[in-house]
Amino acid sequence: MATIEVDYNYQTAEQVKELQESVPGMLGAMTWTSYGPKGRSKAETRKIVELDTDHLEAILITQPQITPLLRAAILHILKGRYRGE
């Protein structure tokens, strides 16, 4: 059985609040480069706000190395979509 090692990024409540407050103004500039579901396609870079919900969810699940800022931005987008915004 394979084991999964997770790197934790500990942050204080104040640091989390600062991230959440800084995200909305940065969304239009944040991009993601994808190589397709199997990683074999030609690289395609798009703004994260243009990615579909399934893609954003897949990033959160399969890419543990993303920065806290990018994770916060994706969560911000997903929360808005789940609320119907």
Instruction: Give strand pairing partners of 44.
Output: 34
What is the pLDDT, as a whole number, of residue 13?
83
Q: Where are the domains of the chain?
A: 36-85
Q: Which two tokens stand for residue 85?
A: 């915004």
Global confidence as pTM: 0.76
What is the pLDDT, as a whole number, of residue 38?
82
Would you tell me how many other CB atoms lie within 10 Å of the CB of residue 70?
A: 19
In the 8-state DSSP scheme, what is residue 52? -
For residue 10, is pLDDT > 80?
no
Which residue type does 70 have? L
pLDDT digit string (tens) for 29-83? 999 999 887 888 999 999 999 999 999 999 999 998 898 889 999 999 999 999 9
Instruction: Give strand pairing partners of 33.
Output: 45
